[in-house]
Amino acid sequence: MPLAGLAKRLAAREVSAVELARHFLDRIERHRGLNAFLDIRPEVTLAQARAADERRSRGESGPLLGIPIAHKDIFVTRDFASTAASRMLEGYMSPFDATVVERLAQAGMVTLGKVNCDEFAMGSSNENSAYGPVLNPWDTSAVPGGSSGGSSAAVAARIAPVATATDTGGSIREPAAFCGITGTKPTYGRPSRWGMIAFASSLDTAGLMTVSAEDAAWVLSAMCGFDPNDSTSVDRPEEDFTRDLARPVAGLRIGVPKEFFAAGLQPDVERAVRGALETYRSMGATLVDISLPNAELGIPVYYVVAPAECSSNLSRFDGVRYGHRAKAHGDLADMIKRSRAEGFGPEPKRRILIGTYVLSHGYYDAYYIKAQQVRRLIADEFQQAFTKCDVIAGPVTTSVAFGFGEKAADPVSMYMSDLYTIPGSLAGVPSMSIPCGFGDGANASRPVGLQLMSNYFDEARLIGAAHQYQLATDWHRRVPAAFAG
C-alpha cells in the first residue's frame, strides 16, 4: 500500500502505529533469509510506535506520523547499532542520531531497524558486507546492487515501506534498478550528512528507497533542510516536494545523451529504457538529443577522487579512539597496523591503498588535481545540457542484476556497473531510478531501471516527472511472487 494509503488509514484510526509496526516486524522475521536487516530491536520499534500513537491521540497529525522506516547502516542511531556493515565498528552504539534520522523521527516515523549495505558503502553488489550479502527478492541468485542493497531489498520485498539510503557514485540508483523500486538521490548538500559515516565527503548524499515517486516526495520533504552541523549543508528554505506531482509532462523536454546508449549497454536494458522514453513521448514530452562528451571519463575520475577522500576519512579508525582494536599486538604502531588489518575488509583496504597513493607526494598533482579538473568539465557539461532540456533520461546500469560472484574477482568490471550513475554524482545533480521493465530470456525476472536527472534543486519537477510515468505504467507496483502475501 502506498504511504498515502497508510497515512490515511492511520489518520482514520483504522490501524494504529503499533499494529503497523508489528505487521512489518512480522514480515521482517518471516523473510530473515534475505539478510536485509542487521539490527532489529522490536522493543525500541514498538516504543516509538506507541509514542506516535500518543502524539496522534493528543491531536497531532502529519503524513508520516506512525509510518515505519528502515535506516541504512551508514546513518548513526542511538537505539540501534551502527556498524557501516564493517567488523571495524561491530556493536558500536552512537551517542546521537544522524540529522536525517532525527528529522524523520520528529515527523513521527518509526524505526524498524538498520539495514545491510556494502562495507562503508563501498560496492555495487552488497557482496562486500562483513555480515554477508543481501539477496535480491526478484531472483535470489542475483545481487540486489550496492551499496544500499539492504534498503532496496527491504522495500522490494515489502518488509519496509520506505528506507533511507546513501549514494556516492550510484549506491541508491543501481540497487533501486536491480530491485525494481524507486530510488531518489537529491542534490548534493540538500539533506544533511551529519551522522552519516563518511566514505567520500564531496560525493556522499543521503536519499531514499520507496515503492513510488509519490512516496519519495512525502518523505523527502521531511528529510531535507539546512543543518548548521554540516559544513556542506545548503542553506535554502524547506520545500514541499509533492507540489509538482500533478504537473503534466506535456511540453517537458527530456534530454537523451547519446553516450548513454553506446557500446556496452545490453539490448534488453536498452529496449526497456527506449520503451519508457516512448511512453513519455506519447504523454506529450519532447525527446531532445544531447551529448555529455566527458561522461565516459567519470569512472576514472571517480576512482581517484572517492578513494582519496576514503583514505582520509577512514584514517580515524586506528583502534586508539575509533574502531576495532586488535587483542594481540606489540607497540602502538603494531597495534594500529593489526587493528586496521583485522577491522577492514578487502574493498575498503583496496580503496585506502589507491587513495593514499594518489594523495602521496609527487602524484597529488598528476592524479587528484587532474581528476578534480575533469570533474569540473563534467559538471559544466550538465549545465550546458540543461539549457536544452528540463530533465535527462537514460539507463541506470549497463545490464540487469548480475549473479553472485560474477564480478567479484574483477574489481574493474564491478566498477563499470556505475558507468551511467557516476557522472551525475560528480556533478552533484539530483537523480532517480524508476522501474521500467524486465530483462530478456534468462533475465526475465530481473528488473530494469530508468534514470532521470534534473538540474540542481529541481527535485520537485524531477519527482513529478517520475510520478506521471508511474501513473501511466504499473512497473513500480509489481511485487516478487514470494513476497506478495
Catalytic residues: 72, 147, 171
Q: Name the DSSP letter for residue 135.
A: P
Q: Distance between CA 65 and CA 68 in Å, rounded? A: 9
The C-alpha cell at 241 is: 516536494
Q: Distance between CA 368 and CA 239 in Å, rounded? A: 36
Q: Where are the beta strands (DSSP E) in 398-446?
A: 431-438
Q: Distance between CA 100 and CA 224 in Å, rounded? A: 8
Cell 559515516 found at: 197
Phi, psi of 143 (to 5 degrees): -75, 155
* Residue 257 bridge partners (DSSP): 290
Q: Name the DSSP letter for residue 391.
A: E
Q: Name the DSSP letter for residue 12.
A: T
Please report, as a single letter, which amino acid is at residue 245.
L
Written as one string, the DSSP assignment of 189-232 is TSS--TTBPPS-TTT-EEEEEESSHHHHHHHHHHH----TT-TT
Q: Distance between CA 484 and CA 131 in Å, rounded? A: 26
The C-alpha cell at 82 is: 551502527
CB 151 within 8 A of CB 175: yes
Residue 357: how many CB atoms within 10 A of its CB? 14
**Which sign, positive or negative, has the C-alpha torsion 299, 301, 303, 305?**
negative
Residue among 100, 103, 97, 53 nearest 79 (CA): 97
CB 179 within 8 A of CB 448: no
* DSSP 3-state of 455: coil
Q: Distance between CA 44 and CA 41 in Å, rounded? A: 5
Q: What CA dihedral angle connects 123, 125, 128 and 133, to 10 degrees?
A: 150
The C-alpha cell at 204 is: 556522499
